[in-house]
């Protein structure tokens, strides 16, 4: 008996197979032969695709929350950089006036 190696398929390939399966122009068996993928695997990909299809339109709330937090942090950091730049310019000006630079 020959040992088989596990194959991995990229997302583009999986999407192509799933979309053809959803069109129902060919049977799962014929798609299996055409792409060299077990019919059960095509069924699993199709099920996963359909379960997660809603996210394509609604987005993920956790992602939205994370983006909002990151934007707030960015704003705070920009404000801090502005303050530090002003402080640096103030110090440079005063050091020049004192003749230390």
The domain ranges of the chain are 8-58, 60-101
| pLDDT tens digits, one per residue of 28-62 | 999 999 999 999 999 999 999 998 887 777 766 77
The yes-or-no verdict on residue 14 having pLDDT over 70 is yes
- Per-position DSSP letters for 17-86, written without gaps between them: HHHHHHHTSS-HHHHHHHHT--HHHHHHHHHHHHHHTTHHHH--HHHHHHHHHHHHHHHHHHHHHHHHHH
The yes-or-no verdict on residue 23 having pLDDT over 70 is yes
Confidence of residue 12 (pLDDT cuts 50, 70, 90): very high
Threshold 0.75, pTM exceeds: no
The yes-or-no verdict on residue 89 having pLDDT over 60 is yes
């Amino acid at each position: 008996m020959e040992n088989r190696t596990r194959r991995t398929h990229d997302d583009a390939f999986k999407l192509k197979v799933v979309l053809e399966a959803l069109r129902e122009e060919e049977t799962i068996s014929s798609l299996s032969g055409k792409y060299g993928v077990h019919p059960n695997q095509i069924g699993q990909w199709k099920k996963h695709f359909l379960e997660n299809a809603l996210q394509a339109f609604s987005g993920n709330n956790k992602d939205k929350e994370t983006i909002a937090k990151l934007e707030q942090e960015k704003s705070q950091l920009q404000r801090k950089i502005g303050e530090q730049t002003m402080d640096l310019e103030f110090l440079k000006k005063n050091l020049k006036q004192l003749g230390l630079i």
